[in-house]
Structures are given as structure tokens and as C-alpha cells.
Amino acid sequence: MEAKLLKKLDTWDKKVISKYNGFGGKPFTIFLRVVSYLGRETLWLLLMLYFLFIYYDSFLFSNISSVFLIGVLLIAPMKKAINRDRPFEKLKNIEILEKQPSSRSFPSWHSYNVASQGLLFSLFFNSTPIMFLVVIIVVVVSFSRIQLGVHYPTDVICGVFVGILGFLFARIVVAPLINNLLIFFEQFNVGNIYKQVINPLLIENVFYMVLVVVLLSMIIYLANYKWVKKRINRSSED
């Protein structure tokens, strides 16, 4: 029974991705590649950097970082344990329409990010229009992973489901712990703590400015690591 169900899911996965891979032509593909960036870790790392070092807000930092941390602890081990090939690796008719990812296929990290962080921002803004916008973004980003040929439908569905669970656990358990920890350490700070304002140390303290620039550079480098590596290899070959 279980084997039969898995076979049906596999058949459905292949049918759907074969139908929608490259759907809409080149302009739509370019649009989806841009929108898909919302699911990358780069955006959330930048927000974490911003709310910790530039515009300090322990509440926002603890919530964003906890949701991201839960994702790292859940998605990476699941990818390794299940070890599912990407669609473009297994199916000859599937064309990859973005940079080739190196991680395994199941579940989708992008879908986890947009679902979990989307729920978080819906909670922050407490707005019905924002909630509908989040739902649209989750659907579009998840679809983009299929259209671009990097994920099966079940990858993104599971990614969204894990994202919902990750959001709930982070919001209820992990975020309050991190927030309380930050508040606890605030009392030992020998200088002033600048809350919810642009930190003046960015201008007044050279070492602080250098620290932020280094961290920002590291995030940008990690986001473009493959591209940088390819350029270096080409230069060495020439």
C-alpha cells in the first residue's frame, strides 16, 4: 500500500514538472527567477544583520533568526537523509533554468523560507492585505521552483508544510528564549545600547563599522560563491 502510494506520488511529480517546466516562456522565467530570490537565505541573513548591528531590535532579530535557525536544523538533515535527486538530474526532458543548486531536492529550502518568514511578517503587520500578499508570494515562489526545473511539486509542498511547523515552534519556543537571552546580556553592556534607531557606532566607531562591512561582505560572498568560484577557475584556465 505504501509503495503504491509513493509510486503514484512519483508519477504525479514527474507529470506536473514535465508540464510546467519552462511554462510561460522566457519573460515569465526571468520574472520567476527574480521572485524566487525571496526564498534564498541571503535575504534573511541580511535582515538578521540589520536588526542586530544596524537597527537593533531584539524582538525582530530573535524571531527572524529563530525561524531561520529551525529551518537550518530541519531542512539540511532532511535533504541529506532522503537524498532525492533534483528533477534535472533524473529526468532528461527537464531543463534547469537557473543556477544549478548543489543540495538535494527534498524538501525545498525556498518554500520553507517564504512560508515560515511569510507567516512571521503576517503576524507582525496583522493585516489582511499583507496576509493575502504573503499567500500569493508563497504560491508564486513555490511554483517557480517547479517551473525552473529544480524541484518536484512534493518538494515544495513539504517545504511549505515544514515551514508552517517551523514558524510555530520558533515563535512559541525558540524566539522567546533568544529574545530573553539578548535582554539578559544587554544589562552587562558597558556602553550604550541603541534600540530601534540607526546605530551611531557605524559612524563613530571604525572597528564597529569594519565589523559590519566584513559581515555584510561575507553574506554577499556566500550568496555568490559559485559564481565567484567559476570566474576564478576561468581566469586560472586562461
| Predicted model pTM | 0.86
CA–CA distance from 168 to each of 6, 120, 213 (Å)?
28, 9, 33
Do 194 and 222 sit in the same domain of this protein? no
Do 93 and 44 sit in the same domain of this protein? yes
Contact yes or no for 142/160 (Cβ under 8 A): yes
Do 160 and 217 sit in the same domain of this protein? no
Do the domain assignments include residue 110?
Answer: yes
Q: Which residue has the higher pLDDT, 238 or 43?
A: 43
Do the domain assignments include residue 155?
Answer: yes
Do 48 and 129 sit in the same domain of this protein? yes
Do 129 and 226 sit in the same domain of this protein? no
Count: domains in the chain:
2
Q: Give the model's pLDDT for residue 232.
A: 60
Do the domain assignments include residue 222?
Answer: yes
Query: Rounded to the nearest 5 degrees, what angle is found at the Cα of 97, between the Cα atoms of 33 and 236?
Result: 100
Do 164 and 217 sit in the same domain of this protein? no
Do the domain assignments include residue 11?
Answer: no
Domain hosting 223: range is 200-238
pLDDT band, residue 150 (cuts 50/70/90): very high
**For residue range 44-80, what is the model confidence (pLDDT) as tens digits?**
899 999 999 999 999 999 999 999 999 999 999 999 9
Do 147 and 230 sit in the same domain of this protein? no
Largest CA distance in the chain: 67
